[in-house]
Structure 1
Amino acid sequence: MPGMAGAGVSRRTLLRGAGLGAIALAAGCTGFATTGNGGMIFLSTQFRPVDEAERFRSLLGRTVSGVSYVTIEDGPFAGQVRSQVDAGSTQMGLLGGLHGDLAPLAGDYLEDLTDLLADLGERGWPAEYLELAKAGTDRTWYIPWANASYVLAAHTDALEHLPPGADPESLTYDQFLDWAIAARRANGNRPMLGLPAGPEGLLHRFTQGYLLPSFTGGQMTTFRSPEAVTAWEYLRELWANCNPASTTYDFMQEPLETGEVRMAWDHVVRLVEAPEREPRNWRMLPAPRGPHGLGYMAVVAGLAIPKNGTDPELARRTIDALSRPRTQIELLRSNSFFPAVEAEIPADLPPAVRLEADAVTKQQEAPDAILSLPPVGLGTREGEVSKVFQDSFRSIVLDGADIRSTLDAQARVLQGVLSDLKVPCWAPDPAADQCEVA
């Protein structure tokens, strides 16, 4: 097992280096020997950065024995599973991935886990997660494992500039904009808001899972609607009150820690280090809400068993162990992924994780919440869909291009990918045999 990365290595460097093991693995179906750990292979798209993978391996080692955790990029994951199962030489025993990684493999490439779900008993999985695990069928193809989301982080310096009467835990997008404007003006016209628009930033998830669902009620089926035009007009205004260096920000915890910005939106894992030194001076907040409600993206991870896996019984025992409340809380402590089962959040969590847990819960339980998922069933072409949102942002917000013509052009690109793959829509868009951009 490789050693822990040194404290002086940035998370940005870790993220870039984490794909090396996946590259070795994806080089061929016999690449598993590169792990050097022995035991049943647990192939996963999750916790790829070196420090996250090491923390999870430590947790796994305390939970079960005889399991070797190997990470792989999202793109080659499905191809690796399909090629091995089709060849009749499956060399892995357990799979971990997001809903979008696992759902396309349901049926032909995954074992039916309906009986295992029943054996595990009432552990309090949300009904919507169990429905997702069926992948549109009447069988269960994976067991919900953990979830993560994206929230707002704000320092007390920024909270001073909230609009009068605004509840920071129940903001509208208009109030969020007013807050950013007031904070900028009070800070000598220097913006206090930052967004992750760097090369490895996740701003496209903001437009996919937060902005568009909140303004339009959908993601793909409303991509070029009049309401979508309004949403992009809003983002232009918000960006005008963002730190211009946001185009370089990948992990928002870094500029938050240095004080370059005092309020930001990002994935919970990419925010958690900012409040560590002074947790009392920080708040983690639910996302704002728009005309259709509070759009938020849930990153739902699951555990599945491939067809003809190497050790089905050990795989089932591992799923049982990893889906127990105690183990799920350990995962929250170590990697900031939240329990998928009913589990009491302990008071002694690291302060930053506790702050995030409260914000994520408020987001999920909001009466007008609109659940969004990352793209499903796109495999290696998911990057093309992400690029549509990235290119739309670049053209509309950074370059000032006409919104309507930009959305029309990008909708054609988007529809081309969806038509080639013939995939159904994913939440929050309504179910359909083939997703159509409207």
Structure 2
Amino acid sequence: MSASGLTRRSLLHAVGISATALTAAACTGFATSGSGGMIFLSTQFRPADEAERFRHLLAGTAPGVSYVTIEDSPFASQVRSQVGAGSTQIGLLGGLHGDLAPLAGGYLEDLTGLFADLGDRGWSADYLQLAKAGTDRTWYIPWATASYVLAAHADALEHLPSGVDATSLTYDQFLDWAIAARRANGNRPVLGLPAGPKGLLHRFTQGYLLPSFTGGQITTFRSNEAVTAWQYFRELWANCAPSSTTYDFMQEPLDSGEVRVAWDHVVRLVHAPERDPQNWRMLPAPRGEHGLGYMAVLAGLAIPRGSTDPDLAQRTINAFTRPDTQTALLRSNGFFPVVDAKIPDDLPPAVGLEADAVRRQQQAPDAILSLPPVGLGQREGEVSKVFQDSFRSIVLGGADIRSTVDQQARVLKGILDDLKVPCWAPDPAAAMCRVE
């Protein structure tokens, strides 16, 4: 997608911010690039309200920077085409690990020196390793993160099995809890999962269930342990609210009382505890034989080769990785800090609760970091569909697990053989990702 193909609305927003930035620059020492300001092209915070909140934060943090959003799919082609033609019109990039890692080594500036200059800000070792994209160089600076957690109302917490710690559940204990709560509720399930048309349940199997049971996501897809994981999922689903197949955002059925326990993305849980936060808990995911599998939605900041203003880009990265700016981003847009930052006490109730659950997942001694698929471009949806179809066939349709897993593994293998991409966490890095 060329610069002229960006939406009129995005460009108008960019022009508006540039005017503000030019005024503020004189007071802060930030320089601008030309009359329009340096373009910060990002796949993040695309919805209008999120973009406006971030532009407000950006104007006060790094004046002279125009924030322009773009869909995931054309992001890489936009960067590749500009850098490849030697006519880069962008100064700074923001995206998820999966957006940035495929550009490493050819289209991004080496930020190893910048990272050293920033000093030890408390980044996770896992995140720093991801930022190297399988090399010995740093190609982006970790910027912000989100994840998925459990939300539970006090009514459901009463039915935890005796002696079980809600912040350190095993999958067996989680199932026992769902069964006990269902029985205590007149045989009506209190657990809900986002299995609706726009729900993110496939991230549960990709990043939580399979890594916890098998240690991997792709290479172990057809293992015997994966068969056990799907058998477990069947049992868990039997104790889920039947309406889960209609749930896209779990905060809505939680708030209405349709369910009292749910797993979902932090952004899709945030409104549930607003009316009575004292009766809610946010909990880390359960753990399996291999550990606590969890999915990190990691965003980073990178500089394209030939950046229009590399100095301003570096200063912007510096500003947005300071602890105070990290907590400001949490407050405005709900993405959690990736540096050592004190979480304020006056955050919206759910955000503070979620911050603790996210921290517990990250810092668990047996944590298994998982990522959404990396380097698949427009075909990521096909890989996600493998997990969605497996769920529909095995869990909803009662199909034979082994034959279904083998069939879907062939589909997955075909996609990966075509793309010839490396694996992503938690699977081991390899030149080509394969289903074993």
Above 0.5 in TM-score?
A: yes
1:420 to 406, 418, 421: 418
2:324 counterpart residue number: 326
- Sequence identity (%): 80
What's the CA shift for 1:408?
A: 0.7
Please tell me whether residue 313 in structure 1 is matched to residue 287 in structure 2.
no
The separation in 1 between residues aligned to 2:387 and 2:297, in whole angstroms, is 18
The separation in 1 between residues aligned to 2:70 and 2:268, in whole angstroms, is 20
What's the CA shift for 1:245?
A: 1.3
2:296 to 295, 298, 306: 298
The separation in 1 between residues aligned to 2:144 and 2:352, in whole angstroms, is 16
Task: Give the 3 Å change call, closer, same or farther, for CA 410–33 of structure 1 in structure 2.
Answer: closer
The separation in 2 between residues aligned to 1:232 and 1:126, in whole angstroms, is 31
1:251 to 249, 252, 274: 249
1:132 counterpart residue number: 130
TM-score, normalised to structure 2, is 0.92
Native 8 Å contact 1:29 1:84 kept in 2: no
Native 8 Å contact 2:134 2:429 kept in 1: no
The separation in 1 between residues aligned to 2:280 and 2:105, in whole angstroms, is 46
1:67 counterpart residue number: 65
What's the CA shift for 1:49?
A: 2.4
Please tell me whether residue 194 in structure 1 is matched to residue 192 in structure 2.
yes
The separation in 1 between residues aligned to 2:332 and 2:384, in whole angstroms, is 28
Name the amino acid aligned to 1:346.
P
The separation in 2 between residues aligned to 1:168 and 1:319, in whole angstroms, is 37
Please tell me whether residue 123 in structure 1 is matched to residue 115 in structure 2.
no
The separation in 1 between residues aligned to 2:6 and 2:361, in whole angstroms, is 40
2:156 to 155, 158, 164: 158
Please tell me whether residue 96 in structure 1 is matched to residue 110 in structure 2.
no
State the SS of the aligned residue for 1:30: helix
The separation in 1 between residues aligned to 2:245 and 2:43, in whole angstroms, is 26
Native 8 Å contact 1:153 1:283 kept in 2: yes
Q: Which 4+ runs in 1 deviate beyond 6 A?
A: none
Per-residue CA deviations over 1:363-397 (Å, capped at 9, x if unaligned) read 11111111111111111111111111011111111
The separation in 2 between residues aligned to 1:402 and 1:76, in whole angstroms, is 39
Native 8 Å contact 1:422 1:435 kept in 2: yes
The separation in 2 between residues aligned to 1:248 and 1:97, in whole angstroms, is 30
1:347 counterpart residue number: 345
Number of residues paired by the alignment?
412
Name the amino acid aligned to 1:399.
G
Pairwise CA RMSD of aligned residues? 1.3
Native 8 Å contact 1:158 1:262 kept in 2: yes
Per-residue CA deviations over 1:131-160 (Å, capped at 9, x if unaligned) read 111111111110110111110000011111
What's the CA shift for 1:185?
A: 1.6
State the SS of the aligned residue for 2:368: strand
What's the CA shift for 1:409?
A: 1.0
1:261 counterpart residue number: 259
Native 8 Å contact 2:161 2:177 kept in 1: yes
Per-residue CA deviations over 1:151-193 (Å, capped at 9, x if unaligned) read 0000011111111211111111111111111111222222111
2:145 to 147, 156, 176: 147
Task: Give the 3 Å change call, closer, same or farther, for CA 326–212 of structure 1 in structure 2.
Answer: same
What's the CA shift for 1:346?
A: 2.1
State the SS of the aligned residue for 1:300: strand
Unmatched tracts of structure 2, length 5 or more:
16-36
The separation in 2 between residues aligned to 1:180 and 1:54, in whole angstroms, is 40
State the SS of the aligned residue for 1:169: helix
The separation in 2 between residues aligned to 1:246 and 1:73, in whole angstroms, is 29
The separation in 2 between residues aligned to 1:365 and 1:94, in whole angstroms, is 30
